[in-house]
Chain A
């Protein structure tokens, strides 16, 4: 085996051991860096949203310079060109609607109306294709342009996925490094609440048409399990990325959380786990009041990621049964000093990582504003102080 292959295996084992709530040789590092990587590599945000080779190059540069266990990034989740091809009304990109160094923006709205529930429930895919897509893309004004835009968009998507797959191979072979997750999915409530009904819409639905909302959430369970497995191309070694939004405190009252948010999310996670697929429960915001419920999940079926959840309580309630990750505050990475960052990481290692089952990461996705010296302090502290 080549040195890089050995290194790859060592890093992967460290990561898997921690996810299985064991104690590896040291605390693994998974950095969820987004636009930060562009700044580090010296590209504008316009460049990484629109030129996928530069987007990938950002991750290359970072892993050449830093000793981390998994690939951070690439920084842009998006390929601006795909959305331009279809005329997406819901996204704004640097260099198009925004200045060249402004972060992309998602325009939330009730793109799905309350009247659409029946059609959505009857056949969500058909409804999306025939009703939603024309509503949210300017190129759908006539069928001729709509067809062309879909062909262009799909071709762009395939090219981007191919480039990412190539990059993944190179990262493994040349740097001995693996991606932190494979595939993604969402909580059904977030599928509806983030993108389709929007926050205001779904909040009204809980009061005005709860039965339709529940039926729509049910329809999404199988879809979201399938979507997760499909986007992971069947891989079950790495966890699935699941960013969780509207279930954080204090969006919903406890009855709403129990009735609308949790049951279908639980089904999706359990459904994935039946396929052997673990979920990275990326709990954005504060989830402290719901920890007891989350503890109902099968052992090891998730990695519980802490943003602003009370870490002590998370450890108390979930520790030993689930791997924990995250919690280095993003504001600290932006406004703090390397010493403060280092102290915070040491505290996490002493108090949380002590029994194993912990992955070092920031609380939220690290944006454009984080200081390089603080990210470096996080990595170096973990490498030195995180040895078991």
Chain B
């Protein structure tokens, strides 16, 4: 049965959209467990993230693979109902209040999902209460916040303060093009990231996996 999806991972890594979708459809027709296909695709995403980290892949490949993944998951998700997925842990992610940029956040979320984490994506323009509620509800050990413009960094500081004041035991990762050590200190975050694979690196540290 596995024959149907042989090469699924490689097709994704090779960014061959039609091949990926054909294989997923063929797999479903042949009764391959959808979860097995998801695992293959996740392995592909991990490989793509590694290639990015090695400088072999660029954002264009990450975005293209994300689009392929989205289309493949649209076929698979209806069949996944009732199947328990195993995750390495819960991560809450979102773009902070006042900012609507989501390119970086989406790529980081995609790579984290690919690496086997349960990512709770709150979208853009997310206020403090929403972050806090999501961290509480999911008992998430890691909160990731994205921001592009320096002018939108103040809300990040306020949100982190609110998270700390709420007494939540959560590590905070901030990310964005104009984020650096100085911004991390200013906002009181635990980690900062500027490039796509930094999120996975930090998650590995936080979850030890």
Contacts and interface: CB of A to CB of B under 8 A. Distances in A.
Interface of A: 35, 92, 102-103, 105, 107, 199-200, 203-204, 206-208, 249-253, 256, 285, 330-332, 334-336, 364, 367-370
Contacts of A332: 182
A331 B183 contact: yes
**Range, interface on chain B:** 20 to 34
5 contacts: A203-B59, A203-B67, A331-B182, A364-B178, A368-B151
A253 B151 contact: no
B67 A204 contact: yes
Output the residue of A92, A250, A256 with the most chain B CB within 10 A.
A250
Contacts of B122: none
Interface in B99-145: 100, 103
B151 A207 contact: no
Interface in B68-119: 98, 100, 103
B182 A203 contact: no
Contacts of A253: 57-58, 60-61
A249 B57 CA distance: 11
Dominant secondary structure of chain A at its interface with chain B: mixed
B60 A252 contact: yes
Contacts of B153: 334, 369
A374 to B, nearest CB: 12
B182 A335 contact: yes
A379 to B, nearest CB: 20
B63 A199 contact: yes
A92 B124 CA distance: 14
B63 to A, nearest CB: 4
B186 to A, nearest CB: 5
Given A204-B67, A335-B183, A369 B60 contact: no
Nearest to A285: B177
Interface in B147-190: 149-154, 177-178, 180, 182-183, 186
A88 to B, nearest CB: 15
Contacts of B59: 203, 250-252
B15 interface: yes
B28 interface: no
Given A35-B151, A107-B100, 19 more contacts: A103-B98, A103-B149, A103-B152, A203-B67, A204-B67, A206-B60, A206-B64, A207-B17, A208-B17, A249-B58, A250-B59, A253-B58, A253-B61, A331-B150, A331-B180, A335-B183, A336-B182, A369-B151, A369-B154
A203 B106 CA distance: 15
A35 B152 CA distance: 13
B206 to A, nearest CB: 25
Contacts of A206: 60, 64
Given A208-B17, A330-B178, A367-B151, A251 B60 contact: yes
B61 A103 contact: no
B154 A199 contact: no
A369 B57 contact: no
A334 B152 contact: no
Interface in B22-58: 52, 55, 57-58
A331 B67 contact: no
B64 A207 contact: yes
